[in-house]
Amino acid sequence: MKILFFGDIIGRPGRHAIATILPRWQAAYSPDIIIANGENTAAGMGITHTVADELFGAGINVLTLGNHTFSKKEAEQLLVNEPRIIRPANYPEGVPGFGYGIFKAGNKRLAVINLLGRTFMEPADDPFKVAADLLPLIKSHTNCILFDVHAEATSEKAAIAWHFDGKISAVVGTHTHVQTSDERILPQGTAFITDVGMVGPQDSILGMQKDGVLKKFLTRMPSRFEVAGGNVTINAVVIEVNDETGMALNITRIQEIMKSNITDDGRK
């Protein structure tokens, strides 16, 4: 099984880059399933019906989320009706949506679990316990399991990866929007990268226009963050997994800069 996973997609520039590059990358890497973190897809924060449909239409099979899951009002109903969108599994009981899903990948199945970190983040349930409780149920269906750990602290992402080494196929980190160069397979067979990076404007601060972010740092005053424009950095990983054992065979980090003049009007 071959998994293509894109880092956080930022607004319209990121969505356009995905639609543009996917045909070429599908031909180059032949993925069985394509996953992307989509919590910043709608004007840089949250997700909407229109944006989700656009990304699924471009070829994405599964979207994971994070701390901006409910930043758009319509997300609550969207998550109830769309099992291809996975929100953090360690949200409190009763929160709408699906914390994990099992999806067709070639002639096998892949389970995708979304987990939210707790260090330097908003309160959430224990990701270690929530994931451990889910594994027996999931393993009755498939040994191929991927965690998207949406977390601020590199130590927390690494801790989750080491704790579940040999029990799942891969742990990919998201949220910090900067691709790390530490991709590897841990001793017991779990692939890991601290952060996949983003699909968003390169001339930016984490995909956002620099002026608004700088204002907040320099003055501590409230500032509106808007998606930047210009060339887009596309960050992803390709993970190869043994279909039977669920253990990773290889993880490859990908980064490409795409020339772009796409801007985000902030409406979706």
Residues labelled as active-site residues:
68
Who's near 57: CB < 8 A, 6+ residues apart? none
DSSP string, 183-230: -EE-TTS-EEES---EEEESSSBTTB-HHHHHHHHHH-------B--S
Cα–Cα distance list, 50 to 47, 53, 74 (Å): 8, 5, 10
Torsion angle (degrees, nearest 10) of CA 161, 117, 99, 193: -40
Strand pairing category for 170-174 and 191-193: parallel
DSSP code at position 152: S
For the chain, how are helix, strand and coil distributed in percent, rounded to 5? 25, 30, 45
Name the residue type at position 268. Answer: K
